[in-house]
Structure 1
Amino acid sequence: MSLTLAARLRSETSALHRQVESTLFMQHLLRDRLDRRGYCLHLRNLEPVYSELEKGLERHAGNEDVAPVYLPNMFRTLPLQQDLQALHGVTWPQDFEVLPSTLTYAARLRELSASAPVLLSAHAYVRYLGDLSGGQMLRNIVVRSLQLPPQGGGTAFYEFGEPPEVARLAQTLRAGLDQVTHDKAASDAVVAEALWAFEMHEKLFAELSEALALTPLQ
């Protein structure tokens, strides 16, 4: 019996996913070593990715290959912007550099929206399922490392609701992915696109580490 698309994505990207999670930048993030500037630079470089992805999903919401993963409750562009304003102020768009990998990633999403919208589902998988699965843990890390008030601003990016709602959203997205396409060639292309997305995250995290002059942790 062949695997569903969601199962293929999980299986065939798992090694690269683990590699991305072990990058120097992620080590600093997970071990409370990022300061406010570093964390804001991170958010600043996620914002264009989500913005382009969500514009594409919105544009093609009526497309049968996009509609199953068009889930506006998961959209993160506005929460990212709210967090940047709460943590830095209204000048965040000018004060933090958009790095080359982010520009490449955003351009790719615009290209897919114009010519291959089915592949947007790969990016929905990479970003949203990661946000849902690790969001609460990362929220707690950010609150602790930036010394934020527990109920204060700055963590909207990770807030999807109570645990049952988070689980429901994750299940809805997985089920949606399995409705995106039943064509083998298209499924292969979605998996390949997800691998590309993880590779771009690895490049972005390397650029963030360089921009922030991060050093290996002991």
Structure 2
Amino acid sequence: MTDLALGSLSTRLRDATKEEHERTESSPFVVALMAGELDRNAYAAMLGQTYLFYVVIEEAGERWRGDAVVGSFVSDALLRRDALEADLAWLFGPGWRDEVAPLPATSRYIDRLRQVCFSSRSGFVAHHYTRYLGDLSGGQIIRAKLRSLYGLTGDGVRFYVFDQIAKPKVFKDDYRALIDTAEWAAGEPANLLAEANEAFRLNRGVFDDLGKALGVGWVGSCEQ
């Protein structure tokens, strides 16, 4: 396919999203949380927003589960909804659902997910990739940080435990191979790259809103 003439799609996806990925990871809220400058409630607030968009992504996954092109991306080993619900119940108590309301940026994120993930194969994979591979890749590091800074060991950090994936590197390599071998239609690889960058921007917007809600200040703006 001419869309893939410049190299493997998975490599292009990694390279094309590198800048947005780094900007998202260096958002003031994330930096403050990982530095131990916030309390456990800030982490719980982040997890609540995370739950809201994972619900939509996993609904979209069910829509594509049997699809000949992208159905293979839908793996039960990745599903996070149950783990998030367990974490939130532990952090907030049995009335945790009353504590979870979307911030404006989360609502925008969810709107975008509903706009593209149920009708576009490449749109679905773009958001699936940025969420699941990101959490699988950095999850152990984040989990270790949360354990040392906030005393979270098992309960409260189940979201970061992929206990059905024995070898994360092998899983990630296989996932990237799926990106490279999927029978994408013309124009879909380019859309995948563009939408993955949009996914990172939307996620960064959620971090910005969390920072504002919790009084985490910064100089300048992460937005272009």
Shared fold (TM-score, shorter chain, > 0.5):
yes
TM-score normalised by the chain length of structure 1: 0.91
Q: Give me the whole-angstrom Cα distance separating, in 1, the residues matched to 2:56 and 2:182.
A: 20
Match of 2:38 among 11, 26, 34: 34
Name structure 2 gaps, 5 residues minimum. Answer: 220-224
Q: Give me the whole-angstrom Cα distance separating, in 1, the residues matched to 2:116 and 2:164.
A: 33
- Would you say 1:178 and 2:180 are equivalent positions? yes
Tell me if structure 1 keeps the 8 A contact 2:33–2:42: no
Match of 2:52 among 48, 53, 56: 48
Cα gap change, 1:96 to 1:114, in 2 (>3 Å) = closer
Cα gap change, 1:181 to 1:208, in 2 (>3 Å) = farther
Q: Give me the whole-angstrom Cα distance separating, in 2, the residues matched to 1:182 and 1:139.
A: 35
Shift of 1:132: 1.3
Match of 1:133 among 129, 134, 137: 137
Shift of 1:186: 0.6
Q: Give me the whole-angstrom Cα distance separating, in 2, the residues matched to 1:61 and 1:50.
A: 16
Cα gap change, 1:21 to 1:79, in 2 (>3 Å) = same
User: Residues 138-153 of structure 1 correspond to what in structure 2 (within 5 A)?
Assistant: 138-148=142-152, 150=153, 152-153=154-155
> Which residue is 1:24 aligned to?
28
> Which residue is 2:222 aligned to?
none
Select between 44-53 and 162-171 the one with higher mean Cα deviation.
162-171
User: Residues 60-139 of structure 1 correspond to what in structure 2 (within 5 A)?
Assistant: 60-139=64-143
Tell me if structure 2 keeps the 8 A contact 1:26–1:205: yes
Shift of 1:216: 5.0
- Would you say 1:201 and 2:190 are equivalent positions? no
Root mean square deviation, CA, Å: 2.0
How many residues matched? 215
Q: Give me the whole-angstrom Cα distance separating, in 1, the residues matched to 2:183 and 2:105.
A: 29
Shift of 1:44: 0.6
| Deviation per residue, 1:47-80 (Å, 9 max, x gap) | 1211111111111111123212111211111111
Shift of 1:99: 0.6
Tell me if structure 2 keeps the 8 A contact 1:24–1:206: yes
Q: Matched residue of 1:115: which SS?
A: coil
Q: Matched residue of 2:187: which SS?
A: helix
- Give the residue type in structure 2 aligned to 1:52: V
Cα gap change, 1:12 to 1:184, in 2 (>3 Å) = farther
| Paired-residue identity, % | 32
